[in-house]
Amino acid sequence: MSDSVSKYFENANSSNGNIKPIQKDPIVENVKRLYDIRSKVGIDKYNTTLFDSPDSFYNFLNHLQEELMDATLYIEKLKNMKK
């Protein structure tokens, strides 16, 4: 078990056997909120969920490749802004 998983279980159980409430990370909560918003935009745009999308394996690989190519362009833009 990884250290972070072990730590989670150590923190989840107090010494008296009661389960402690899980502390929420505001950064994680914000990213989850952004995913929910992005999901709604996608459902509205394509009239389906990602889970139910009829696209093929190859189409998903193509989408991923295009997104990664965009990401490298954004990185290059940001690097040039710092010069």
b/e 27-66 (16+ beta carbons within 10 angstroms → b): eeeeeeeeeeeeeeeeeeeeeeeeeeeeeeeeeeeeeeee
Residue 81 has pLDDT above 90, yes or no: yes
For 63, residues 6+ apart whose C-beta sits below 8 A from its C-beta are: 55
Whole-number mean pLDDT of the chain?
A: 89
Residue 67 has pLDDT above 90, yes or no: yes
For 43, residues 6+ apart whose C-beta sits below 8 A from its C-beta are: 49
pLDDT at 16: 61
Higher-confidence position of 40 and 19: 40
pLDDT at 3: 76
Cα 37–75–40 angle (5° rounding)? 10
Domain boundaries, the chain: 24-81
